[in-house]
Amino acid sequence: MEQKILYVRLPCNPIFPIGVVYLADHVHKQFPDVEQRIFDLGTVPPLDFGSALDTEIDQFKPTLLVFSWRDIQIYAPVGGRGGNPLQNAFEFYYAGNPLVKLRGALGGLRLAASYYGELWGNLGLIKQGLKRAKRYNPDARLIVGGGAVSVFYEQLENKLPTGTIVSVGEGETLLTKLLRGQDFDDQRCYVVGQAKPRDRMIHESPTAI
């Protein structure tokens, strides 16, 4: 079957998708005949995430979906896009004015709502994308990687569809082996429902390219 790879960068701050571009460039050098496309949800209005993803998959009909997940912790100590947790915490714990204390508490609740909303939203997009791709290719596969996954790969084990390849760190060699039909158990990854993540996998050295 002709391989078609769709890279999907999940919503995040407007930053150039350098990791996805590196992966696509590596695959092109190794497999110049493999058709590839990059779809950046960071350029799509939030209300259109689901429909835009469906449209992209309907048009391209990928055999392999590669989701890049950059952020799970959407907050920074000061001025993150989810709010200002440091200010909220200081106001809630130390403010003498009850109204300021209440403002800190409400700010913390908004931050938690943003965090869980984005987490559940991204998981929903991943599942939606795989289900859509299987309409056209029942054997379509799914890889999930990126900075967030490399940090929280153990916590995501029970939240991703069975058969998902969870990639930790660089994924060039993993993709190469997958496209060649080779075993990739030696890579920093695991398959949901088939294997458990190795202990301290993030600390393993990546395979030289």
Asked whether the whole model's pTM tops 0.75, one would answer yes
- Nearest-CA neighbor of 39 among 27, 62, 29, 30? 62
Q: What is the mean pLDDT of the chain?
A: 90
Q: Which domains does the chain have, with CATH numbers?
A: 4-203 (3.40.50)
124-166 tens-digit pLDDT: 999 999 999 999 999 999 999 998 898 888 999 899 999 999 9
pLDDT, position 82: 63
Contact 196, 157 (CB under 8 A): yes
